[in-house]
Amino acid sequence: MLVRMGLLSLLLTALIVETVLAVRFLQRAWEKFENDDSLRIAILTGSGEKAFCAGGDLKEMVESGLRVPPRDMFPLPYDNIELTKPTIAAVNGIAFAGGWMLAQACDLCVASTSAKFAITEVKVGRGSPWAAPLIHMIPQRIFMEIVLTGKPITAQRAYEIGLVNRLSNPDDLMEKALELASEILEGAPLSVKAARDTVMLSTEMGRGAALQAARAAHECAYNSEDAQEGPRAFSEKRMPRWKGC
């Protein structure tokens, strides 16, 4: 876990997300991120180049007789973990099943050109109800093909369909993710929060309701000191000094 410049970097050291240590680590890390006001954005990545996350331990599922997974089985941002700040998945290597789930749960995704993504549950008789939000990220027929076939797609294909925001050479993955994070950190904190809230509200409401909710979400930003500092800094041709209030 690395903390710097309002940024929290989370490293998945276990390929199998279900291991007790990995689950506890993520739980604590997400809680730290949400509760620390000095942290504005988080990057989630895997160790090495082999895998971002290879999904759940199928052998353990069989031995434990697991049927319907409990909702709190994985600490998943914006599902069973409430986060109000942006997150970036930096995907190196394979992101299969639960690995795709974790990458999908983050707000943004930067992927190594060697990365591969797959929702493989149909291949092993399991399910992927967590994939439902994909309908707001990629076209329906591509979504359908991915979940019905279980076949992997390349990072390039993931970029083409809109699952991935930016591609990177394998050696430059974290640099590319940090670059994206830095661009977000340049924005006024309350404006960034309101912008993110607007996107999330838009996926859950009709057009009229989303517009109304988005206006309400932006009131705090409009009424803040930063709303005056931004235009002032622009007119004075200097960098703004954000206070987050």
Tell me the whole-structure pTM to 2 decimals: 0.83
> pLDDT (tens digit, 9 = 90+) per residue, 106-160?
999 999 999 999 998 888 676 788 898 899 999 999 999 999 999 999 999 999 9
* C-beta neighbour count of 231 within 10 angstroms: 10
Q: How far is CA 6 from CA 2, 37, 169, 210, in A?
A: 11, 9, 25, 29
**pLDDT score recorded for residue 142:** 97
* C-beta neighbour count of 133 within 10 angstroms: 13
User: In the chain, what percentage of residues exceed pLDDT 90?
Assistant: 42
**pLDDT score recorded for residue 3:** 45
- With left for phi above 0 and alpha for psi between -120 and 50, is residue 153 left, alpha or beta? beta
